[in-house]
Structure 1
Amino acid sequence: MSTRLLPWLLVLLCACSRPTSRPQPQAAAELWVDGAASNGDGTRERPLRTLTEALARPGPKRVHLAAGRYEGPVQLSEGTRLMGEGPGTVLAGTGPGMTVVDASRDTAVEALQVAGGDWGMEARGPVQVHAVTFRSQARGAIRLAAGSLEGRSLRFEAGAGSQSRTCSLLDTTLPAEPPSTEAPDGLGVLVEAAAPGDAAPSLILRDGVFVGPYERAVRARGGATVRLEGVCFQGPRMALSQEGGAAEVERARASGGAGTAFSTVEGALTLVDVRVQGHEYGVTANRARVSVRGFTSEHATRAGLGLTATSGLLEDVAVKDAGSYGALQLTASDLEVRRFRLEGSREYGVVALQGRLRLRDGVITGVSTADGVAGDGLHLRQVEADVDTVSVQGAKGSCVLASQHARVTLQKARLSGCGLAGLAVDTQATLESRNIDVRDTAGSVVLAIEGGQLQVESLTAKDARGELVSTDCEEQTRVHLRHVDSSTTRGLRSPCVQLDARPRAGTPQP
């Protein structure tokens, strides 16, 4: 190698070994705007007069917006942070079809009010929105079409009078609030990809309030993900409408609406510490997965929870004064319910049709139809059910009914004040039970008709005013009793009744 080439090789090697310098992020410029001031240079002492001029400045910027009214539309370019002085700083939309704020990625809006417009904000995240009030939009407050949006301490108002309404998570009771009489209209937040095939957006809302007659407070579609934490809904017809995707709701309250409070179709829904007052249903799910831990529904006009073709686990569920569709209405689902309390339901406590069901540690009280002549605690039809440790009190019909080919196992049940029967089986259903305590029944202790088969081991029956066993002995109807302690023996002589051990009857009445 020529010695004249060596210096050039050394220079080349040194250049390749030098670290590549990375461009430093450009510092955000600080700008001040005050519509009431004389036009200045944008400093705190000499603010700009128009927001448009501030937003036209290149590069990332932090714009401080004084109280006053600023007409939209407002375009926020990447890296812009817009900060107001509270609700007195108003971004207003007056033109037809206008979006008041268009927020692209890496932008933020804080401490102001967005009023009017077709949409209050259209966002393509990441976008942050803090301490902002959205009021009186024609179609919706926020439309999130891409990326993520994180909102904190937001207030959404729809309809006349919403400014004066309050909604608090601190209430320890759920007062009876009638649904809004205003016609529902528009959305609070729509979370949906701008075009089919685009990545689904994600929404996080913390400590927010929706008041007034929104059709849907939050609507998530097309696989979007939503997390609502510490959110209060007072007046929207629906609090959350989810179609696909995943939604998590924690520490939420919904009241004053006429539709379903929380609805999911083909999605995954998680509820933690959620309370619903009124509404048609507290929760509905169709072809979905649900996880519930701590849920209360009061005064639902149809049912506390109505779940169809749905799987999941429900824990610590309380339903009071549900309508004629039952406290829990379960259809073709695979569910486990633990630690539940159902009070004052009309028609049914739990009604399950098809599918599989596991019930653990529950109390059902006061089930009655409007005329006071019927109402079942557990109404199980065409379902495979495993029930353990339940108490049913004051069911005007049967405390436990297995019907229409149902296959039910029941153990450690305490049944009292049953109107028609303590345990009932019909239409070729089977009910296998053990450790059953039946008290103060107006009708039969056990009832089997129309090919139903009933087995009871370790039955205690006290204060029964009807028969111990009532059966038609038709088709394959069978009753098999073992270890019975009863105050009556009426019905034991029926030909389809088998008794393995003689009952210890306090007052035999053959």
Structure 2
Amino acid sequence: MLRCLLMIWFLTFPACRATAGVIAPGEPAGPAEVWVDAARRGAADGSRERPFSSLSEALARVPGGAASVRVHLAPGRYPGPFVLPAGRELVGAGEGSVLYGAGTEPVIRAPGGGLLKGLVLEGGGWGLDAAGPVRLEAVRFRGQGTGAVRVETGQLKVVGGGFEAGGPGAVGVLLGGGARAEVRGATFTGSFRRGVEARDAQAELESVSFRGPLTALYQEAGRVLLRHVSVEGGSEAGLFVQRGTLRLEDVTVTGHEFGLQSMKATLEGRGFTSVRAVRAGLALVGSQAELEDTVVLGSGGFGGVSLVASETVLRGLRVDGAQEYGLTATRGRLRLERAILTRLTTSDGDAGDGLHLRDARVEVEGLVVREAAGVGVLAAQGSEVVLREVSLESCREAGVWAETLARVTAVGLEVRGSGGPALVALEDGVLRVDAVLARDNAAGLVMADCQGATGVTLGRVSGQGVVRETGAGLACVSSSSP
């Protein structure tokens, strides 16, 4: 019995000692809290009951040597400028807590980052000049002469709040090459020169609206994502990107000179819409793009979509009410799938084409052109074009037109109601058409000048069979039908 008791004692006692020696981890200490009230007078220690009257004093004092301090600002106006030490948080009472500056100094400098919440920053050259990790929650900026927020390096996160322009030369948010930014649920209003300017930065904007900036996004290099973004009220390009990568998801630009303009950039995504662009909804120069579900509603003299020396894939394109052209492509390559181009007009009677292609390599599958003031598809200057399952209806001048060394191959082509012929070949243009249905075209099936290398080859033609020639007869028009 004694041996059993001793064994139980030896087995139990060390376990009790070991348990007693463990120190349970405590909850991490939160930031020290300090209160400030601009209307307060008298003795103060920064407590809720005896708040400081000066924000500068609160920022300078560190309660008990705390590594992080949360400063609560009562409603009132607090004159700056301020320097926010690392580990400081400023929490205001919303629109009533105003930090303001005069002259060209930033209202707040935050070289080590920080948190701002429920505040208004007013005036100054910059509202906030920051580095390090910066978080803004429900913060409003207004009246800055140079710009609202500048972050050259570090991380910026914006949740809610807004940016109001202080003048036509100001920038809403400026991101430098070492910056990464997330902006969610914010608004940019007024005549900012640029709403967001990103230079070799990484940025993501989600559920953001721009109302009035001349250009909502100005991007040089870097990578930017726009998701659920709306832009309107500006006079320059709504979105501009140069040499960078821009991804679009559900983005609408109303008005502006161009909905989206790019130079030597990469574009990707789906759901871009341009409404009433002064020049063009989409204008790409020397760029690479793969876009789905693009819509252009109304556009000016550069047409709905303008492509120059670009490698482009467009799936699900809709253009309605464009002036001059539905889509123009000069040099470069284009793959177009599932496109509808309607109500295309011209100001001088010499344009209004659905597709206007010059020196381009183009593949089209599933195209509808309806009510075009010019030609349904015009290929010129050595373009190589392949058309599959294309319907051209009520095109005033012609259905398909090949000229100046262009070569067009079409399989599954329907041309109805043209004010001219269904097919035109001039000036060494070559047409090879198989499985074509042509009806109610005012000038018949084919018009060709039959000079030089001009040639038309027809296979499986149904509907209209009238051939109209100009020049030297019908020698250049042949049939491949068995």
| TM-score normalized by the length of structure 2 | 0.91
SS in 2 for 1:55: helix
Q: Percent identity?
A: 40
- Is 1:149 equivalent to 2:156 in the alignment? yes
Deviation at 1:25, TM superposition (A): 7.2
SS in 1 for 2:57: helix
Q: Which residue of 1 aligns with 2:173?
A: 189
Give the distance between the partners of 1:189 and 1:500, measured in 2 at CA. Answer: 63
Alignment partner of 2:212 out of 225, 235, 255:
235
Deviation at 1:319, TM superposition (A): 0.2
Where in structure 2 are the equivalents of 1:53-202 lying within 5 Å?
53-58=57-62, 59-94=67-102, 96-159=103-166, 184-193=168-177, 200-202=178-180
Give the distance between the partners of 2:379 and 2:480, measured in 1 at CA. Answer: 23
Contact 1:189–1:219 (8 Å) recurs in 2 = yes
Q: Which residue of 2 aligns with 1:48?
A: 52
| Matched letter for residue 74 of structure 2 | A
Which runs of 5 or more structure 1 residues have no equivalent in the other structure?
Answer: 1-21, 160-182, 194-199, 503-510
Q: Which residue of 1 aligns with 2:192?
A: 214
Contact 2:203–2:223 (8 Å) recurs in 1 = yes
Give the distance between the partners of 1:23 and 1:265, measured in 2 at CA. Answer: 52
Give the distance between the partners of 2:333 and 2:349, measured in 1 at CA. Answer: 30
Where in structure 2 are the equivalents of 1:277-292 lying within 5 Å?
277-292=254-269
Alignment partner of 1:442 out of 409, 414, 419:
419
Deviation at 1:26, TM superposition (A): 6.4
Contact 2:425–2:447 (8 Å) recurs in 1 = yes
Give the distance between the partners of 1:329 and 1:421, measured in 2 at CA. Answer: 21
* C-alpha RMSD over aligned residues: 1.9
Contact 2:113–2:130 (8 Å) recurs in 1 = no
Where in structure 2 are the equivalents of 1:372-391 lying within 5 Å?
372=349, 374-391=351-368
Give the distance between the partners of 2:214 and 2:428, measured in 1 at CA. Answer: 45
SS in 1 for 2:203: strand
Q: Which residue of 2 aligns with 1:457?
A: 434
Alignment partner of 1:246 out of 203, 223, 237:
223
Contact 1:464–1:488 (8 Å) recurs in 2 = no
Alignment partner of 1:497 out of 453, 471, 477:
477
Deviation at 1:486, TM superposition (A): 2.5
Contact 2:182–2:203 (8 Å) recurs in 1 = yes
Give the distance between the partners of 2:399 and 2:168, measured in 1 at CA. Answer: 45
Q: Which residue of 2 aligns with 1:166?
A: none
SS in 2 for 1:201: strand
- Is 1:369 equivalent to 2:346 in the alignment? yes
SS in 1 for 2:309: strand
Deviates most, 465-474 or 265-274: 465-474
Give the distance between the partners of 1:23 and 1:311, measured in 2 at CA. Answer: 55
- Is 1:343 equivalent to 2:320 in the alignment? yes
Give the distance between the partners of 1:147 and 1:373, measured in 2 at CA. Answer: 53
SS in 2 for 1:192: strand
Deviation at 1:40, TM superposition (A): 1.6
Contact 2:379–2:408 (8 Å) recurs in 1 = yes
Q: Which residue of 1 aligns with 2:375?
A: 398
Deviation at 1:296, TM superposition (A): 0.9
- Is 1:203 equivalent to 2:181 in the alignment? yes
- Is 1:266 equivalent to 2:243 in the alignment? yes
Contact 1:265–1:288 (8 Å) recurs in 2 = yes
